[in-house]
Amino acid sequence: MILILQLLLALSLRADGYDWYQVLNCAFSSSDLSDLEFIDTFYFNKDPVIRFNSTVGRFVGFTEFGVHNAERWNKGPFLQQERAELDRYCKPNVKLDITHILEKTVKPKIRLTSEKQASQGHPALLMCSAYGFYPPAIDMYWLRDGEKVTSDVVSTEEMADGNWYYQIHSHLEYTPTSGEKISCVVEHASSKKPIIVDWGGSFPDSDRDKIFIGASGFVLGIILSTAGFLYYKKKSPGQIRESSADIDPSGVLMSD
Ligand SMILES: *[C@@H]1O[C@H](CO)[C@@H](O)[C@H](O)[C@H]1NC(C)=O
């Protein structure tokens, strides 16, 4: 990864449609700053005129005017000042930017859902989604009983939300077998360990809901019929006793 920090110094002179300005660059590609470079370029309109490059160690001119002034500046105190800028200006600022911008990470929120349940001859479809992470570099894959799944996986690219956060999605098509464990794994700079989310059920949410509603209806039915039966039992003995009271006297008569 090439990391370039560029600071545009507000040292710009504009007159009659002409623009003379200076651009300061601190460029590096490694976070240990071993290749950090200070580049100070003076432009006239869009053309570079003079440039100081810390690796070169002196001013270089690109136009006649630039060559003339580069020669002059290379003999003066400005050269010593520019040579000190790598340590004075670039190093502390780049270190701050590395810790506060480049190394900043935000952990993704993972969601594992069933898009389609397996039915006669058709495989199931699971979707793993990671939301709200930064930086965009991420690795999302599936495990089947601990083994990395290499086929029947379709993944999107990291998608920018437009607010520095990113999202990514992966689909797994599989034919469920009992006792098997399916997991979605996410590896991201925000977490030292891989983030593993296990697929909780063999039923997708919608089917689980249907089963729940069915079971609730069944339980409610049992409760209501039990209540009805108890009500019936409570009422009936009274009626029987009433009728037996009618019979009893005749029984008394008979024993007489
Ligand atoms: C600065 O000089 C080095 C050595 O010549 C060169 O590799 C590098 O590309 C230069 N950087 C710029 C921005 O011109």
**DSSP labels, 40-83:** EEEEETTEEEEEEETTTTEEEESSHHHHHHHHHHHHSHHHHHHH
Residue type, 52: F
Amino acid at 251: G
Say how far residue 9 (Cα) sits from the centre of its chain.
35
Longest CA–CA span in the chain (Å) reads 148
Domains of the chain: which residue ranges?
3-102, 109-205
Identical fold between 3-102 and 109-205: no
| Residues flanking ligand 1, CB < 6 Å | 37, 39, 53, 55-56
Res 208: pLDDT:
65
pLDDT in tens, the chain (256 residues): 555 666 556 567 777 888 889 999 999 988 889 999 999 999 999 999 999 999 999 999 999 999 999 999 999 999 999 999 999 999 999 999 888 888 889 999 999 999 888 888 788 899 999 999 999 999 999 999 999 998 899 999 999 999 999 999 999 998 888 788 999 999 999 999 999 999 976 555 556 677 888 889 999 999 999 999 999 888 875 555 544 445 444 444 454 4
φ, ψ for residue 4, nearest 5 deg: -130, 125
Please report the pLDDT score of residue 100 as a whole number. 83
Question: Does the predicted model carry a pTM greater than 0.75?
Answer: no
- Among protein residues, the one with the nearest Cα to ligand 1's atom 14 is 53
Fold of 109-205: Immunoglobulin-like (2.60.40)
CA–CA dist 172, 177 (Å, integer): 15
Q: Which of 5, 56, 60, 90 to mutate to test the pocket of ligand 1 (most atoms within 8 A of CB)?
A: 56
Q: Which residues of 124-158 are buried (b: 16+ CB within 10 A; e: fewer)?
A: bbbbbbbeebbbeebebbbbbeeeebeeebeeeee
Judge contact between 3 and 31, C-beta under 8 A: yes
Q: What is the pLDDT of residue 36?
A: 94
Distance, CA 55 to ligand 1 centroid (Å)?
7
Phi, psi of 34 (to 5 degrees): -65, -25
Q: How far is CA 36 from CA 31, 57, 98, 167, in A?
A: 9, 13, 13, 32
Q: Which helix (H) or strand (E) segment is 232 a member of?
A: helix 205-255
Among 118, 148, 142, 138, residue whose Cα is nearest residue 199: 142
The residue to which tokens 């007489």 are assigned = 256
Nearest CA owner, ligand 1 atom 13: 39
The closest of 93, 111, 109 to 101, measured between CA atoms, is 93
Of the candidate CATH numbers 1.20.1250.20, 3.20.20.100, 3.10.320.10, 3.20.20.140, the domain formed by 3-102 belongs to 3.10.320.10
**What's the gap in Å between 102 CA and the centre of ligand 1?**
23
d(CA 168, CA 155): 8
113 CA to middle of ligand 1, Å? 51
- Taking a C-beta distance cutoff of 8 angstroms, is the pair 69, 50 a contact? yes
Question: Which token pair is 136?
Answer: 């965009």
Nearest residue to 24 (alpha-carbon basis) of 6, 10, 11, 49: 6
